[in-house]
Amino acid sequence: MRIAIGIYLLVHGICHFVGFVVPWKILAMKDEPYKTTLVAGSIDVGDVGIRIVGLLWLIAGVAFLAAALGVFTSWPWWRTATLWFAMASLVLCVLGLPGAKIGILANALILAYLLGARFGWLPAVG
């Protein structure tokens, strides 16, 4: 179970890097084009604003990589940190709609696992 959770967090973290490389024009993607708007085009933040949001995606990606490392090495802080990371990521995904809609599900699964493990409904990983 530990390996599965760690891999899930690792992959989730890597997926966040799309939110960085596209706004910073490091990589052009057909499925995720460069844009300066948030929340399905309703808020235009401009080039600088979208780069700032891109930095937030980068930070979130690194945070999930750290959480994965925490799972793999049994660091006691990983659950609490991952809870905060998932909530922040959920906000980023809402801002990134519609392109980040799968991230909402990915974060919901993380939060559901953490809640289920906390209350004994699912096996807890140390």
Read off the pLDDT of residues 98-116 as tens digits, 9 standing for 90 and up: 999 999 999 999 999 999 9
Residues of the chain with pLDDT under 70: 126
User: CA-CA distance, 35 to 42, in Å (whole number)?
Assistant: 12
> pTM of the predicted model, to two decimals?
0.92
- As given in the structure block, the two tokens for residue 105 are 């599900």
Predicted pLDDT at 124: 79
b/e map of 81-99 (b: 16 or more CB within 10 Å)? ebbebbeebbebbbbbeeb
